[in-house]
Amino acid sequence: MINYLCRVAHLTITMIRECPEHGPFRGERCVCGKEGHLVLDDAKTEKIGRFISGALRHFPDDLGLAISSKGWVDLNLLSEVMHERYRWATKKRLIALIESDEKGRYELQGERIRARYGHSIDVSLDFKQNTNPKLYYGTSQEEADIIIENGIKPVKQRYVHLSASAEKASEVASIHTENPIIIEVDAKRAQEDGLPMIQATDEIVLTDAVPPEYLNRL
Ligand SMILES: [Zn+2]
3-class secondary-structure state, position 65 = coil
Domain locations in the chain as residue ranges: 4-115, 134-217
**Is the model's pLDDT at 48 over the cut of 70?**
yes
pLDDT digits (tens, 9 = 90+) for 121-157: 999 999 999 999 999 999 999 999 999 999 999 989 9
CB atoms within 10 A of CB 140: 18
- CA–centroid distance, residue 106 to ligand 1 (Å): 22
Residue 14 contacts by C-beta under 8 Å, 6 or more apart in sequence? 26, 27, 42, 45
Architecture of domain 4-115: Orthogonal Bundle (1.10)
pLDDT digits (tens, 9 = 90+) for 167-183: 999 999 998 888 999 99
**Is the model's pLDDT at 6 over the cut of 70?**
no
CA distance 139 to 97: 30
Instruction: For the chain, give the percent of residues with pLDDT over 70.
Output: 94
- CA–centroid distance, residue 87 to ligand 1 (Å): 28
Q: Name the helix (H) or strand (E) containing 8.
A: helix 4-9
- CA–centroid distance, residue 196 to ligand 1 (Å): 40
- CA–centroid distance, residue 123 to ligand 1 (Å): 37
Closest CA to 4 of 169, 213, 125, 189: 169
- CA–centroid distance, residue 61 to ligand 1 (Å): 38
- CA–centroid distance, residue 29 to ligand 1 (Å): 8
Across 25-32, average pLDDT: 92
CA distance 69 to 200: 16
134-217 belongs to which CATH class? alpha beta
3-class secondary-structure state, position 50 = helix
4-115 with 134-217: one CATH topology? no
pLDDT of residue 9: 45
pLDDT digits (tens, 9 = 90+) for 187-218: 999 999 999 999 999 999 999 999 999 999 99
pLDDT of residue 12: 55
pLDDT tier, 159 (very low <50, low <70, confident <90, very high otherwise): very high
- CA–centroid distance, residue 36 to ligand 1 (Å): 7
Ion ligand 1, residue ranges at CB < 5 A: 19, 21-22, 30, 32, 34
